[in-house]
């Protein structure tokens, strides 16, 4: 899996990240996993052409001492479709900016 990872995070900071994700992402129903939806402007041509598959999102996984931001863009409505795939360059940049905004907002020592 292609992903952006922040690791070696302290236990108190993990707790703060969980609070941040609770406020800025949607829980997935699986412990430690959140969804972050992409806006219409961030979607690729094929994703825009598949309104029945929207919203499209990426997963964030919070572990004991890490947070992972997956580069796989998924549909919240279907498991298999041509619109599901690895992030475009623009989407990868936006995912990394999301991670950096989280780290900056919480003043993480990364």
What are 24-78's pLDDT values in tens digits?
999 999 999 999 999 999 999 999 999 999 999 999 999 999 999 999 999 989 8
Q: Which domain holds residue 89?
A: 3-105
In a domain, 46, yes or no: yes
Average pLDDT of the chain is 95
In a domain, 110, yes or no: no
Furthest CA-CA distance within the chain: 42
In a domain, 42, yes or no: yes
- Helices 89-105 and 11-24 cross at an angle (nearest 10°) of 120
Confidence grade of residue 109 (pLDDT, cut at 50, 70, 90)? confident
Task: Tell me what pLDDT residue 47 has.
Answer: 96
What's the structural domain count of the chain? 1
Beta strands per DSSP E along 3-108 = 3-7, 26-27, 33-37, 56-62, 66-70, 72-75, 85-86
Task: Tell me what pLDDT residue 110 has.
Answer: 58
The pair of structure tokens assigned to 104 is: 């900056």
């Amino acid at each position: 899996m292609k992903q952006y990872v922040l690791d070696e995070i302290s236990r108190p900071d993990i707790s703060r990240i969980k609070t941040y994700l609770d406020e800025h992402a949607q829980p997935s129903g699986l412990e430690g996993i959140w969804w972050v939806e992409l806006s219409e402007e961030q979607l690729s041509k094929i994703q825009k052409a598949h309104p029945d598959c929207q919203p499209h999102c990426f997963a964030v996984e919070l572990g004991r001492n890490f947070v992972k931001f997956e580069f796989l863009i998924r549909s919240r409505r279907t498991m298999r479709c041509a619109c599901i795939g690895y992030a475009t360059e623009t989407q990868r940049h936006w995912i990394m900016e999301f991670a950096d905004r989280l780290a900056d907002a919480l003043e993480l020592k990364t």
